[in-house]
Amino acid sequence: MITASHNPKDYNGFKICRQQAQPLSGQAGLDKIKEAMENEIIQKSPQRGNIARKDVSVEYAEHCLSFINPAKIKPFKIVVDAGNGMAGMTLPPVFEKLPIEVTKLFFELDGSFPNHPASPIELENLVDLQKKIAEVKADFGVAFDGDADRMFLVDKFGHQVGGDMVTALVSDNLLDKYPGETILYNLICSKAVPELIERKGGKAIKTRVGHALIKPLMKKHNAIFGGEHSGHFYFRDFWFSDSGLIAFLVCLDLLSRSDMQLHDKIAEIDPYFRSGEINTKVDSVKDKIEQITEFCSDGEIDRMDGISVAYKDFWFNLRPSNTEPLLRLNAEAISKEILDKKLEEILAIIRS
């Protein structure tokens, strides 16, 4: 697939998969291709490939809708921001089959992204959606990124629902229908996610961050679903690949069945306070992580991805960026006072 995903208009890129939708990444296949190209040892096939053009939009819509019962969906009033990306093409055939009232924003395909970057994880890119939700008095809204593999919900008050909370919502719905299933979540997600999965009788498995790591693990554990704080949601019945549209539909189904507003449902499952991701440039990533490890030696330490430290009332993860001399901090606590106090202590060390 040729796509720059959620990146700005000046970017472009490739998403490369092998058979059965297995993704290639820097440490999972692409490194071998790079080595082969640099050493000119690529083996050319004796047969040439071919190019075929086929419109699968109807079949795609039907498959996405197979995750729910459209007849059971309530007539919600929803604002949808397609961000001038691919959601503008993939969503309309699905909406035609649903009894919802949709107010459309930026459904015109335009790779220059004239209205805002198609990256709904950043709050500044949700301003138009938040205004329109208030203007039309919608029940909630949803925004998709450039290639529509990610999505974020926004409640009627304009509050963004984090990817981890969407992971919890999807898990809630799927475990009602398929009890005892395995669900993966990355280590940045709120504690509310594994707590809900286990409370519903499912098996929760924590993973490192990144689709190239999660997809193989989903196959290994035959997990029905996997979610990330970044808004990536993976489904076993979607070839273990991610789909923002399917996640949206499953959440729509949950809200229809529960007879609750989005903000009320989130309040029901989320008792915690989170920092969001705090990025800090540092001279030495390794030295800072070791300083933090020493400072937090009285906590429960996990080095699955960077360093995670857990206490009774607070936890955090500190991990390096893959591309910059940055440390990424995510934290969560049972109260805002504890969160603020702990963040002040940790950031003082990181920024010293």
28 DSSP β-pair partners: 25
Which three-class secondary structure state does DSSP give residue 140?
strand
Distance CA 208, CA 186 (A): 5
Positions marked catalytic = 5
Which three-class secondary structure state does DSSP give residue 258?
helix
Distance CA 192, CA 262 (A): 16
C-alpha count within 13 angstroms, C-beta hemisphere, residue 216: 14
Distance CA 187, CA 214 (A): 11
Which three-class secondary structure state does DSSP give residue 313?
coil
Q: How many CB atoms lie within 10 A of CB 106?
A: 23
The residue assigned the tokens 């789909």 is 243
Amino acid 320 reads P
130: tokens are 């938040």
